[in-house]
Every structure is written in structure tokens, then in C-alpha cells.
Amino acid sequence: MKWKIAVAVASAIAVSACGAAIVKAQTTAPAYLPAYFVGLVNVKDEEGYTKEFLPKVQPLIKEAGGEYVAGGFNKAHPITGEPPPNRVVIIRFEGGLSAIGEWYEKQKSIEEEIGHKYATFQSFAVEGVEPRR
């Protein structure tokens, strides 16, 4: 009889431990996935772009939680299709597409007023994917 009680207690402890692990895994999983801003920029005047445009937009990227993942002048290398423009940037936003939208609304006027003097822009956002386990 005592061994039955011991087995029941041990089983209850094991089930509780598994349940706690599952709850912890669920609470540590990301509530949303990051998103990536991809900018294809054809810079016509590197000096003006670097001195007048970048100092105004880079702080906004940081404020919005953006983090440069890849890019810069002449850093993209074609594999297939047309070659990319002379500047390609990829910026990760942990806040997802909504963070990109909020950031872009703040920097859009700077791009239109200053950036277009020195470059042409094409950009898009890409949603992140669930990491494979």
C-alpha cells in the first residue's frame, strides 16, 4: 500500500514539472515575429547622402527599435537577375510590421525632402518566419 502512495506522489510531481515546463515555454515564446525592411537605394551623390540624409534617418531607426542586419554601399553581390543598386540595406524590427510602418511614417518626409536629392529609393517589408526547432 505504501508503495502505491509513493508512486502516486512521484507521478504527481512529474506531471507538475512537465506542466510547468510547458507553461514556461509558452510564456517565453515571442508574442510576435520580427519583420525586415529592405531598402534598394541608387545613390547618385554619396557625399550628400551620407552627410545630409543618413544623420537624420539613422536616429529614427534606432528609436523605433530597428537594427541594421546587412547593407551599405556596394555590398550586395548579384547572383541571378539584374544587379542590385549601389546601396542595399536590411533592417530588422522586433516590433514586426507595425513597427516598420510607424518608423516609416516618421522618416518618409525626410526621404522626400532630402533623400530624393541624392538617391532614388525602392523599399519593402518582409515578415519574419517562426524559427525551426
Residues 45 and 24 in one domain: no
Reported pTM? 0.74
Per-residue pLDDT of the chain (133 residues; tens, 9 = 90+): 544 444 343 443 343 444 333 333 344 435 579 999 999 999 999 999 999 999 999 999 999 999 999 999 999 999 999 999 999 999 999 999 999 999 999 999 999 999 999 999 999 999 999 888 7
CATH at residue 97:
3.30.70.100
| Domain that includes residue 11, residue range | 1-29
DSSP result, 14-75: HHHHHHHHHHHHHHHS-SS--EEEEEEEEES-HHHIIIIIHHHHHHHHHHTTEEEEEEEET-
Residues 23 and 74 in one domain: no
Residues 24 and 61 in one domain: no
